[in-house]
Structure 1
Amino acid sequence: MPLPVVDVIIPVYRGLNETRRCLDSVLAFPQRTLHEVVVIDDCSPEPELSAYLHDLADTGAITLLENPVNMGFVNAVNRGMVLHSDRDVVLLNSDTEVHGDWLDRLCRHAGGDPMIGTVTPFSNNATICSYPRFMRDNPLPAGWPLAALDALCAEVNAGQAVDMPTAVGFCLYITRRCLEQVGYFDATVFKRGYGEENDFSMRALEIGFRHLLAADVFVYHRGGISFGEEGPALCEQAQRVLEQRHPRYFPLVGDYCARDPARPLRRRIDNARLARSPRPRLLFILHKGGGGTEKHARELAALLEPDYEVFLLRAYDATTAVLEWARRGEEFSAWFPLPQAYADLLDFLRKLPVTRIHVHHVLDLQQQLLRLPEDLAVPYDFTLHDYYPICPQYNLARADGRYCGEPDTAGCTACLAERPAPWGMDILSWRTLFRRLLMNAARVIVPSRDVLTRMRRYVPDARYVYLPHPEPTLIVPPGWSSGPSGELKIAVLGRLTPAKGLHLLEACAADAKARNLPLFFRVIGHTERELQPKSDSTLSFSGAYEDDELPLLIARERPDLFLFPAQWPETYSYTLSVAMRTGLPIIAPRLGAFGERLAAYPQARLLDWNTPPAGWNDQLMSFWRGREQGAVQKGSGYDA
């Protein structure tokens, strides 16, 4: 009895270089599985591509089928599948690359159960079969070419697979018994491509066939070569058809994504890659609140990527800590319910092994995690992003959001009576706990002289290291000039809280309206509480934004100056950096890091932080009068 043969079907339309790489990879590796490489030239508009396929067919390496007119992706696939009615097939996009005994591994999965209809491997760009990030288009991980990554999958996930609700068409093994019962792809509805394999998968699922993700095969997929700019529209159209034809399709896929049964298989690959990485491991501890602390930690992790593997540990909720691999493009995370799994966390960190810890913040963290440096017996650094080690109110603000003035023990005790500290501590116990943490740190990193001066009053003998952030260079958007417009447009940046000056800003806006001042306050950002917009208000909000959007938003708003109404001694401010890049005037409080950061800034004015709203507005009006006066003088000179 002759051995079964598999047809490897590769439809081609565009992309000479991608097609050449695809076929080179298919032809480079001998397989135990007998197979024939069938290429369908769907009337390619690239003569060089067609000539290359002819030359290759002349060598006998491939079987070439040529469509005299462009029949569309699905018809091209169907032509390949009907070529030999007794063979299993593998549909392979022309922008993929394979490695090693890829086909043998797919065949082993396909032969494991007579009701297996399709098998799809892992890939960098394959939605529910994507690695390292699920449901994302990924580049290959740095330092892991296809050959190494596929070999790793074959090693750590040998023979492993999970059931899926649908196949993914970039590299799709289909058994002949499935084709015989389900039929071919629907070329009438899905002629151009997108959605045809999902429709086929649902038809197969309805009569009992299974779809597998083969976790021991990895195929590179560039994506978008054949369909180009047409792809998004085809995808949207296919989704509408699938929803009409198969009402269960999207609920099934949604349930699969929520369960993510392939996650343990991806984690095996992650763990194996980490085990082979020669880079030392660092652990960053931080809160779950995002903001400037997380921005700094991630920027630092990105800078360290060439030389270190950085992990982030934070609280997910009151009883769970989550550990995340901070390397860009990675998905790895591990969850530890505490206190039960503290020993598991220690064991995991020892096996990595973590060689140094950097504490960025412990807000919302389980108290048990403060023991990590001691229990792991590794050195650690502690960066002060705010004043949490000396006060549970980390911004040194009262309940109304204003600077507390750092009262004596009695004053702090009265404050904590109204707003209790985490872990039920009084102020003396709190400072004793954190004094020990700071004193045992190899370095206590402070971003400003102001922080250093304040902290030395409480923990004078810690090993402080003054490491300011580099100040930004001036970058003025092309053609940007605010110019007189009858009123002064004042920009306030970021998410406003009472400590960031929300109440002061509202009071300034009310004063401006009451005195009929030509001042308009525009918050490029949002607030922690909903404010009712008023048509006659001198204050408005643009809404939340992503960090990289802020320069463009400022350019669109064209403000005359920036106001920073903070009511607490800020240790640093990323939004101040963005404002300084514009070269526009800045008004800020004489409190925290603002003074030293703006000392050399040519257009900065500082006010006492507790200046009443009318005083802030008077300062703003001095800018307005100066601007108007300058405009008149400039106009007079022009007329002359």
Structure 2
Amino acid sequence: MKKILQTVAILITNVSGGGTVRHAKEIAHAWSMQECRVLYIEVTDSITQVHFLKKGVIVKEYLFVDDEDGKRLKQLLQAYHVQLLHVEHLFNAPTYFLSLHKKLEIPLAIVMHDYYMICPFIKLTYEDESYCGEKGTDACQQCLARRNFVYGASGTRVLDIYKWRKMWEEYLKGAALVVVPSRDMEKRVRKYYPNIHLRMIENPELIPVKSQVKQIGLIGALSKAKGGRKVKECLDYCAANHLKLHFVLFGTLPDIVLNEDENKYITILGPYEEETIYSQIPRYLIDFFWFPGIWPETYSYTLTIPVRLGIPCISTNLGAIASRIQEHHWGKTYPWQYGAAQIIQELTDFPYAQYKNPNFEIQNTSFGCIEEYYEGISILEVNDCCHEHVPASDNINQLTGTYAKKEFHLLWHLAHGREKLHLLWHIDRKWVIDAVKRRISRSFVKKI
């Protein structure tokens, strides 16, 4: 029987890493392996890259620079007879993306990976990256007035949380499907958008694993919101009290500076690779993993790693990590407001051995059938993908603009030979001068 859904466009803007990009790339690959043509669209400021996938392989690529109002992107999607626009994130997206599905006259599916459509600061946190407590609209309005948030697409400062949420509510209302990855996030989003129909679909875990493990493990880039400062406080407490605990961090502590005594209590291994982390962890004999985050995460791929290895976990009682641990009996949680002494007591008393049970099994290991994922969406049938009137991709040697920061680095990465020389003539001089003044010329030169 002929598939009705033959071509899907997957869109992500101004997100360069983390679970959102992973999910976007994995779902693009999964759909393309199910005989569906996929146009994977990555937007970085004024640069739009489109990758055409068939059976898991990129067979064609397009580059649009300074695509005014997305005219060429729209033309490309029409030429490929795209039947559904699937949005993974619209961080700092030009406003024309909000009406792209309407211009194409196709249904819209949205995956909410975080709280950007509720809070422009994404994580529901204060300036110090601790959980704000969601104390009501007035508190949100005061927070927005106190902090300087500029919507990158328009360059205008956002001062009214009501207008911000109204804009995204209207966008969500226009979607045929809105997906959230956890029950915890579903409950939180419903408080703000009670009239939006949400479907909870946990992110599948596609990495094959082994098992076995001992000590206290930490994982990921632990910013302050993800508990980095709490880790430092606990290390200080351990050093002051000469405790017999040691932490192994499969990741980093950005913006956190440890002193000599604190460093004795932790081994920091740096960023990990998905392909090797499962064989790396058993070598350190981890007893259990600690997730010290102080904001309500919407999902966490990092939690899956110790779970797949059968290693119990302990976390703060906030967000999807806590709800998944509690729901599946993978460990326990403690109040997110706890200080160092209380946290260390929780870690010391944690009866991790009793949590090593059959519940440490993740069965959600694929995206399933594409028709089931988009079930209920009315898809317009097309005859074939005839590629009529496909707009020409930009040639880097013909670019005339001035480029800096992420745009320049991306173009430099895409450029070859003489194209790099051409780019150097179009680099933003002010940016270079500022880089030199801030003594980052060495890293700048290294990148180019």
> In structure 1, what is the Cα distance between the partners aligned to 2:62 and 2:208?
42
Q: Offset at 1:315?
A: 2.1
Structure 1 contact 279–307 (Cα < 8 Å) conserved: no
> In structure 2, what is the Cα distance between the partners aligned to 1:361 and 1:556?
37
| Aligned partner of residue 354 in structure 1, secondary structure | coil
* Aligned with 1:501 (options 217, 221, 227): 227
> In structure 1, what is the Cα distance between the partners aligned to 2:336 and 2:217?
18
| Cα gap change, 1:416 to 1:334, in 2 (>3 Å) | farther
Match for residue 95 of structure 2?
367
| Aligned partner of residue 221 in structure 2, secondary structure | coil
* Aligned with 1:465 (options 175, 199, 202): 199
Alignment of 1:458-607 (within 5 A): 458-469=192-203, 477=211, 480-482=212-214, 489-529=215-255, 531=257, 534=260, 536-607=263-334
Alignment of 1:137-156 (within 5 A): none
Structure 1 contact 476–583 (Cα < 8 Å) conserved: no
* Aligned with 1:330 (options 58, 69, 73): 58
String of CA shifts for 1:93-115, please: whole Å, max 9, x gaps. Answer: xxxxxxxxxxxxxxxxxxxxxxx
| Aligned partner of residue 264 in structure 2, secondary structure | coil
Structure 1 contact 472–581 (Cα < 8 Å) conserved: no
String of CA shifts for 1:51-79, please: whole Å, max 9, x gaps. Answer: xxxxxxxxxxxxxxxxxxxxxxxxxxxxx
Structure 2 contact 24–88 (Cα < 8 Å) conserved: yes
Match for residue 401 of structure 2?
none
> In structure 1, what is the Cα distance between the partners aligned to 2:87 and 2:113?
10
| Aligned partner of residue 286 in structure 1, secondary structure | strand
| Cα gap change, 1:547 to 1:326, in 2 (>3 Å) | farther
Structure 1 contact 298–326 (Cα < 8 Å) conserved: no
Residue 419 in structure 1 maps to residue 148 in structure 2: yes
Q: Offset at 1:472?
A: 9.3
Match for residue 178 of structure 2?
444
Structure 2 contact 7–37 (Cα < 8 Å) conserved: yes
Q: Offset at 1:608?
A: 1.3
> In structure 2, what is the Cα distance between the partners aligned to 1:606 and 1:505?
16
| Cα gap change, 1:367 to 1:338, in 2 (>3 Å) | farther
Alignment of 1:6-405 (within 5 A): 280-287=6-13, 288-305=15-32, 306-316=34-44, 318-327=45-54, 328-330=56-58, 332-338=60-66, 340=68, 342-405=70-133
| Cα gap change, 1:300 to 1:339, in 2 (>3 Å) | closer
Structure 1 contact 589–606 (Cα < 8 Å) conserved: yes
* Aligned with 1:620 (options 347, 351, 367): 347
| Aligned partner of residue 415 in structure 1, secondary structure | helix
| Cα gap change, 1:546 to 1:476, in 2 (>3 Å) | closer
> In structure 1, what is the Cα distance between the partners aligned to 2:332 and 2:277?
23
| Cα gap change, 1:389 to 1:372, in 2 (>3 Å) | same
> TM-score, normalising length from structure 2?
0.70
> In structure 2, what is the Cα distance between the partners aligned to 1:448 and 1:278?
29
> In structure 2, what is the Cα distance between the partners aligned to 1:407 and 1:338?
41
**Which structure has the greater CA radius of gyration?**
1
CA RMSD of aligned residues (A): 2.6
| Cα gap change, 1:546 to 1:369, in 2 (>3 Å) | same
Structure 2 contact 307–330 (Cα < 8 Å) conserved: no
> In structure 2, what is the Cα distance between the partners aligned to 1:384 and 1:279?
22
String of CA shifts for 1:239-274, please: whole Å, max 9, x gaps. Answer: xxxxxxxxxxxxxxxxxxxxxxxxxxxxxxxxxxxx
| Cα gap change, 1:539 to 1:414, in 2 (>3 Å) | farther
> TM-score, normalising length from structure 1?
0.50
Identify the range of structure 1 (389-398 vs 521-530) with the bigger mean alpha-carbon deviation.
521-530
Q: Offset at 1:462?
A: 1.1
Structure 1 contact 475–583 (Cα < 8 Å) conserved: no
> In structure 2, what is the Cα distance between the partners aligned to 1:296 and 1:433?
25
Q: Offset at 1:473?
A: 11
Q: Offset at 1:513?
A: 1.2
String of CA shifts for 1:479-526, please: whole Å, max 9, x gaps. Answer: x453xxxxxx21111122111111111111111111221111211012
> In structure 1, what is the Cα distance between the partners aligned to 2:217 and 2:98?
40
| Cα gap change, 1:336 to 1:415, in 2 (>3 Å) | farther
Structure 2 contact 213–282 (Cα < 8 Å) conserved: no
| Aligned partner of residue 335 in structure 1, secondary structure | strand
| Cα gap change, 1:523 to 1:283, in 2 (>3 Å) | same
String of CA shifts for 1:410-439, please: whole Å, max 9, x gaps. Answer: 322332231314143321111011001111
> In structure 2, what is the Cα distance between the partners aligned to 1:613 and 1:539?
15
Structure of greater relative contact order (alpha carbons < 8 Å, 6+ residues apart): 2
| Aligned partner of residue 249 in structure 2, secondary structure | strand
| Cα gap change, 1:502 to 1:398, in 2 (>3 Å) | same
> In structure 2, what is the Cα distance between the partners aligned to 1:312 and 1:603?
35
| Cα gap change, 1:581 to 1:339, in 2 (>3 Å) | same
> In structure 2, what is the Cα distance between the partners aligned to 1:285 and 1:524?
30
Structure 1 contact 474–582 (Cα < 8 Å) conserved: no
> In structure 1, what is the Cα distance between the partners aligned to 2:210 and 2:344?
26
> In structure 2, what is the Cα distance between the partners aligned to 1:284 and 1:583?
34
> In structure 1, what is the Cα distance between the partners aligned to 2:324 and 2:288?
17
The total of aligned residue pairs comes to 341
| Cα gap change, 1:521 to 1:563, in 2 (>3 Å) | same
> In structure 1, what is the Cα distance between the partners aligned to 2:205 and 2:327?
10
| Aligned partner of residue 324 in structure 1, secondary structure | strand
Structure 2 contact 245–265 (Cα < 8 Å) conserved: yes
| Aligned partner of residue 598 in structure 1, secondary structure | helix
> In structure 2, what is the Cα distance between the partners aligned to 1:341 and 1:445?
27
> In structure 2, what is the Cα distance between the partners aligned to 1:555 and 1:533?
28
Q: Offset at 1:311?
A: 1.9
| Aligned partner of residue 519 in structure 1, secondary structure | coil
Q: Offset at 1:335?
A: 2.5
Q: Offset at 1:449?
A: 1.5
Unpaired runs of 5+ in structure 1? Answer: 1-276, 483-488, 628-640
Structure 1 contact 474–583 (Cα < 8 Å) conserved: no
